[in-house]
Amino acid sequence: MKRFWKKTAFFTIIALIVFSLVASSGTKNKIFSQNIRNPESCIVAGSLNKHQQLNQICTNTLHNISTPTPQTTPTLIPNLILTNKERFLAAITDKLIAIPQPGTYEYILLRAYGSAFVNHNPEVQLPSKVVFSDEKETKEFQSTLNMGKVNGTNNCYLQKAAADALNQAKAQVNIPLKSGYGDSDCTRTFATNQRFWRKYANNKTLARVQQGQETKILGTVAPPGSSQHLWGLAIDLRVASEAQRQALNQNGWFRTVEYDIPHWTYIGYPLDKLGDLGFENKVIGGVSYWLTPL
């Protein structure tokens, strides 16, 4: 008899635990659904791996982030409950096949060059991994891109959305290319990426980068297959004035690679959204960078 009561008490406790878990997750989902039109709450939902339908709505909402819609719901508190890193990872989670694990070479590359992965413009293509193995893989990706020409250049091409945004900035103020050669300042081949790497570094440097012992070189040159220039979303420019910087920022272009002063990345969001996406601002020698929080 004693055993019977023990068993009953045990199952009652289990039932109560299960009930309270279900009830609390129900409440959370309700909060998320109420705030679903708010992109920040989608980032929260994404980071907490809510069910698929929610993520679908969120992905659509994030796609529409650039088109202002009337805000009918109050702002949720994601900024307070999520770290920058959590918000950044939530924003890029649907881009890569897998988010690299901390301590790996891929994670080091994601930290240095992963800023562009937050772009949710459906016209912008991103690779499904952070480093291409060879020219063939690079070309396969590049063949899927819709390219556009940068005005006032001979052969500078970027993904069309990025080129259009840059041309808008150039319509406001003159912004020259760094070298003037489109195939090195703009979209590069794997071979060009590799040639630049060999100019400044070698296999030993690569091994040190892969082991996390060397990071500063990443601000001078990208290891073979990992440059943002392979994606058609980066450009090297000669920017000296505040007016040039502002025109670029207003059109979604930012310095995102630490110590790489001429290098600009197309993020596609206005300056005031970068914090929401987890970016961290760092000013070095008067130069303002927007870095991944990894």
Interacting span for Zn ion (CB under 5 A) from 1-9, 47-55, 121-129, 228-236: 228-236
Interacting span for Zn ion (CB under 5 A) from 20-28, 90-98, 204-212, 234-242: 234-242
* Candidate list 40, 86, 106, 236; residue touching Zn ion; CB under 5 A: 236
Residues numbered 135-174 forming contacts with Zn ion, rule: CB under 5 A? none
Closest distance of CB 131 from Zn ion, Å: 16
Position of minimal CB gap to Zn ion: 263
* Candidate list 263, 266, 290, 294; residue touching Zn ion; CB under 5 A: 263
Interacting span for Zn ion (CB under 5 A) from 25-33, 191-199, 210-218, 236-244: 236-244
Interacting span for Zn ion (CB under 5 A) from 16-24, 117-125, 256-264, 285-293: 256-264
Residue 273 makes CB contacts below 8 A (sequence gap 6+) with 65
Closest distance of CB 257 from Zn ion, Å: 7
Of 206, 207, 240, 241, which Cα lies nearest the Cα of 222?
A: 206
Task: Output 231 or 269, the one with its CB closest to Zn ion.
Answer: 231
- The whole-angstrom distance between residue 280's C-alpha and the CA centroid of its chain comes to 12
Site size toward Zn ion, by CB under 5 A: 2
DSSP for 14-39, please give it.
HHHHHHHHHHHHHHHHHHHHHTTTSH
Task: Output 177 or 274, the one with its CB closest to Zn ion.
Answer: 177
- The whole-angstrom distance between residue 221's C-alpha and the CA centroid of its chain comes to 19
Q: Which amino acid is at 209?
A: V
Interacting span for Zn ion (CB under 5 A) from 85-93, 145-153, 257-265, 269-277: 257-265
Closest distance of CB 65 from Zn ion, Å: 26
Task: Output 43 or 235, the one with its CB closest to Zn ion.
Answer: 235
State the Cα–Cα distance between residues 125 and 279, nearest whole angstrom: 20
Distances (CA, A) of 41 to 66, 77, 90, 127, 178: 16, 8, 11, 26, 40
Of 105, 129, 106, 131, which Cα lies nearest the Cα of 211?
A: 105
State the Cα–Cα distance between residues 176 and 266, nearest whole angstrom: 16
Instruction: List residues near Zn ion by CB under 5 A.
Output: 236, 263
